[in-house]
């Protein structure tokens, strides 16, 4: 019988399970639908990326001999919902079933599962493009009292053999993070990203994105994401040649002027399927063996992909759907309105958000220690913050965005993603970045008109969440400092923080500032 093979926008890989052993009469479908661009107001680069990459992949499938149905945004009969559109096409072609690999988000997975017995039944397949499946993760997790990335990662190193000498890790250690904490320096020469040529198909996709979603964040004038496998490979080789050697050392640095530093910017290409995580790790390991790239760089890079990326995916699929509702610290604040337009006088936040608006990208430390840390200290609700991260980054898909935001940043999952919250004062940002010398605030002051808001918010956060956090062994030292603080000083800090929070404008969503 004839199947419809549905390929979702982040499944653009020939190795996709759905495409294996396809019968000759199979119809492959890719569907552009407005609903997927609007369920959160995605950045215009992200929408452009999906449209352009989907159109190129459809063309590549046709060239390989697949029969492809492509639903375009402008089709008159487009249902504009993935599920309905797939069912409409299946009916149109007389297909007996719809096959699809596990999508990147629970909301789609759940609806698809509910339709396994529909008139045209859905058949859900595992997405095998990762190192581990959710089943592998749940086997690893079962019986463990605590889940920790480090142990999961070591097991993956042994399983794959990356950077191993027999049973031992190359260099004698599993983790070289100690060497990976250098702050920004004046004379660093960051590599420029390759500029990708825009062919007619890409230009048309970008024009369509602009015509339909021109009111979303960002401008397509500087769009430069890879939309084909060939472009993604150019980016990969460029990173291996020019970024990898310094990736480790400056992994945690923040720059006021450079958005990418020595980061790879490969997440979007990997997440939509243009690159496999295997080939990215293999290219990095190969470069280590072929040249003098230091072990702390290669190990740090491979850990992000083989460790963190797989770990968050495992957590997501084994903890959903309850994970999304978690709010361990009971946060209630809406997102600060300036997250949508960068209109703030706090230089670090202004810079991270402006780079996000410009490029649909911010590197990990900006996401974690600047926008994330600030939202944590203010007590922003997981829902509001997660919707923002999901909307604004080209690499955002819920399986990877949610554990990072809800778990790692907001500590809302009770410690599955991290044993303590990554809260920090202005001192940390001052140490790692060159922002503070350009800011109207001083990271050295805690109270007063020039005091960096992160400082009073930091102590205020510790104070208001003491019940949940003070017993955490890793927080003992800092609660010791708080408890030793003179009452007067403590009261002044409390007032400074509360005054700041009272005047903070929040917004329930893009384009809807709500003056509170
Ligand atoms: P590099 O620094 O070059 O790292 C190499 C690769 O490692 C990345 O491409 C990515 O695939 C992987 N990686 C690194 N850190 C993580 C991590 N914590 N979790 C999973 N994979 C990781 N990453 C996404 O891909 N999509 C998201 O939606 C996303 N949302 C995030 C939200 C928050 C609040 C935080 C703190 C992190 C988030 N991350 C997300 C993780 C990380 O910030 C990005 O993967 C990284 O910044 C992408 O840039 P890069 O390719 O230059 O990464
Ligand atoms: C993010 C996105 C956008 C903007 N557009 C589409 C689309 O038109 N069609 C599609 O199949 N997927 C799109 N996506 C990605 C989806 O929101 C969703 O994350 C994945 O399809 C899940 O695998
Ligand atoms: Fe950010 Fe505070 Fe430094 Fe200003 S002084 S850049 S607000 S950390």
Q: Average pLDDT in the 241-262 region?
A: 96
Query: Residues 45-57: pLDDT tens digits?
Result: 999 999 999 999 9
CB 387 within 8 A of CB 410: no
Same domain, 400 and 469: yes
Q: What percent of the chain has pLDDT over 70?
A: 98
Same domain, 34 and 182: no
Q: Is 90 part of a structural domain of the chain?
A: yes
Q: Look at the chain and report how many structural domains it folds into.
A: 3
> What is the CATH number for 405?
1.10.579.10
Please report which confidence band the pLDDT of residue 509 belongs to, taking 50, 70 and 90 as the band edges: low
Inter-residue long-range contacts of 463-467, CB under 8 Å, 24+ positions, other chains counted: 463/490, 463/494, 464/379, 465/329
Same domain, 377 and 415: yes
> What is the CATH number for 80?
3.40.50.620
Can you tell me which atom of ligand 2 is nearest the CA of 32? Answer: 8
Give the dihedral of Cα atoms 403, 404, 408, 411; nearest 10 deg. Answer: -50
Query: Residues 203-215: pLDDT tens digits?
Result: 999 999 999 999 9
Report the alpha-carbon distance of residue 130 to residue 160 in Å, rounded.
Answer: 12
Q: What is the pLDDT of residue 511?
A: 56
Helix, strand, or coil (residue 291): coil
Query: Is residue 321 reached through a cis peptide bond, with omega within 30 degrees of 0 on the bond before it?
Result: yes
Same domain, 441 and 314: no
Q: What is the pLDDT of residue 186?
A: 81
Q: Of the residues 404, 416, 424, which should be mutated to test ligand 1's pocket, given the most ligand atoms within 8 Å of the CB?
A: 404
Our answer on whether the CB atom of 371 is closer than 6 Å to any ligand 1 atom is no
Our answer on whether the CB atom of 308 is closer than 6 Å to any ligand 3 atom is no
Report the alpha-carbon distance of residue 183 to residue 206 in Å, rounded.
Answer: 37
Q: Quick one: which of 440, 460, 462, 441 has its CA closest to 452?
A: 441
> What is the CATH number for 304?
1.25.40.80
Please report which confidence band the pLDDT of residue 507 belongs to, taking 50, 70 and 90 as the band edges: confident
Q: Which residues are CB-neighbours of 125 under 8 A, at least 6 positions away? A: 17, 18, 99, 100, 101, 102
Please report which confidence band the pLDDT of residue 254 belongs to, taking 50, 70 and 90 as the band edges: very high
Q: Quick one: which of 387, 384, 348 has its CA closest to 368?
A: 348
Q: Average pLDDT in the 489-496 region?
A: 98
Our answer on whether the CB atom of 360 is closer than 6 Å to any ligand 1 atom is no
Can you tell me which atom of ligand 1 is nearest the CA of 239? Answer: 3
Which ligand lies nearest to the CA atom of residue 396 in the structure? Answer: 1
How many other β-carbons are positioned within 10 Å of the β-carbon of residue 24?
Answer: 7
Our answer on whether the CB atom of 424 is closer than 6 Å to any ligand 3 atom is no
Q: Quick one: which of 125, 2, 1 has its CA closest to 69?
A: 2
Q: Which domain holds residue 298?
A: 134-191+243-319
Which ligand lies nearest to the CA atom of residue 16 in the structure? Answer: 2
Can you tell me which atom of ligand 3 is nearest the CA of 435? Answer: 6
Report the alpha-carbon distance of residue 365 to residue 48 in Å, rounded.
Answer: 25
Please tell me the distance between residue 9's alpha carbon and the centre of ligand 2 in angstroms.
Answer: 5
Q: Is 237 part of a structural domain of the chain?
A: no
Q: How many CA atoms lie within 13 A of 451 on its CB side?
A: 19
Q: What is the pLDDT of residue 245?
A: 96
Same domain, 310 and 345: no
Can you tell me which atom of ligand 1 is nearest the CA of 397? Answer: 28
Our answer on whether the CB atom of 369 is closer than 6 Å to any ligand 3 atom is no
């Amino acid at each position: 019988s004839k199947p419809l093979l549905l390929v979702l926008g982040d499944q653009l890989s020939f190795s996709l399970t759905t495409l294996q052993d396809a019968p000759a009469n199979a119809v492959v479908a890719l569907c552009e639908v407005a609903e997927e661009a609007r369920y959160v107001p995605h950045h215009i680069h992200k929408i452009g990326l999906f449209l352009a990459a989907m159109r190129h992949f459809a063309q590549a499938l046709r060239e390989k001999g697949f029969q492809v149905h492509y639903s375009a945004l402008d089709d008159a009969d487009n249902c504009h919902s993935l599920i309905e559109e797939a069912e409409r096409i299946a009916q149109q072609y007389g297909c007996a079933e719809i096959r699809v690999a596990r999508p990147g988000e629970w909301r789609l997975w759940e609806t698809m599962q509910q339709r396994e017995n529909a008139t045209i039944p859905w058949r859900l397949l595992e997405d095998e493009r990762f190192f581990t499946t959710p089943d592998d993760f749940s086997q690893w997790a079962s019986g463990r009292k605590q889940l920790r990335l480090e142990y999961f990662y070591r097991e993956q190193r042994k399983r794959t053999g990356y950077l191993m000498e027999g049973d031992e890790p190359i260099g004698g250690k599993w983790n070289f993070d100690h060497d990976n904490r250098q702050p920004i320096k004046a004379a660093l020469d960051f590599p420029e990203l390759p500029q990708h040529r825009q062919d007619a198909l890409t230009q048309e996709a970008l024009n369509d994105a602009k015509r339909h979603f021109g009111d979303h964040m960002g401008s397509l004038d500087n769009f430069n994401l890879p939309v084909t496998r060939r472009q993604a490979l150019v980016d990969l080789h460029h990173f291996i040649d020019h970024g990898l050697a310094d990736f480790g050392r400056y992994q945690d640095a923040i720059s006021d002027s450079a958005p990418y530093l020595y980061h790879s910017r490969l997440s979007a290409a990997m997440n939509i399927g243009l690159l496999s995580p295997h080939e990215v790790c293999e290219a990095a390991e190969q470069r280590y063996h072929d040249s003098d790239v230091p072990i702390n760089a290669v190990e740090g890079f491979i850990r992000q992909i083989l460790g963190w990326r797989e770990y968050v995916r495992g957590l997501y699929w084994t903890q959903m759907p309850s994970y999304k509702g978690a709010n361990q610290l009971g946060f209630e604040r809406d997102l600060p309105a300036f997250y949508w337009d960068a209109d703030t006088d706090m230089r670090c936040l202004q810079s991270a958000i402006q780079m996000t608006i410009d490029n649909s990208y911010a590197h990990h430390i900006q996401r974690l220690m600047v926008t994330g840390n600030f939202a944590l200290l203010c007590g922003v609700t997981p829902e509001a913050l997660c919707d923002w991260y999901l909307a604004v980054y080209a690499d955002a898909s819920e399986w990877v965005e949610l554990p990072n935001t809800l778990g790692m940043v907001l500590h809302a999952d009770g410690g599955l993603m991290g044993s303590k919250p990554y809260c920090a004062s202005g001192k940390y940002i001052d140490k790692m970045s060159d922002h503070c010398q350009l800011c109207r605030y001083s990271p050295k002051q805690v109270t007063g008109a020039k005091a960096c808001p992160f400082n009073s918010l930091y102590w205020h956060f510790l104070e208001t969440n003491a019940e949940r956090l003070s017993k955490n062994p890793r927080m003992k030292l800092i609660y010791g400092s708080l408890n030793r603080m003179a009452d007067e000083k403590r009261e002044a800090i409390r007032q400074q923080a509360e005054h700041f929070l009272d005047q903070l404008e929040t917004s329930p969503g893009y384009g809807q500032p709500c003056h509170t």
